[in-house]
Amino acid sequence: MGASELTWRKSSRSGANSNCVEAARVRDAVRLRDSKNPAAGTLEVPLRSWSAFLRGADRAVG
């Protein structure tokens, strides 16, 4: 599945001029891209790793 066919999401806390990462779910993974330069490519991370990252980030903030 190409990047243009995915549903990309970014944090609701992202401002218009912020450095943001967008994420899209694909099969059993998550693809990440730079919201300011989406044509630069994507990084695919296993869903388990992405979930662990989010849990760790939530604990650090929370």
Phi, psi of 10 (to 5 degrees): -135, 165
pTM tops 0.95, yes or no: no
List the chain pLDDT tens, one digit each, 62 residues: 677 789 999 877 676 666 788 999 999 999 999 988 889 999 999 999 999 999 998 888 86
CB 33 within 8 A of CB 43: yes
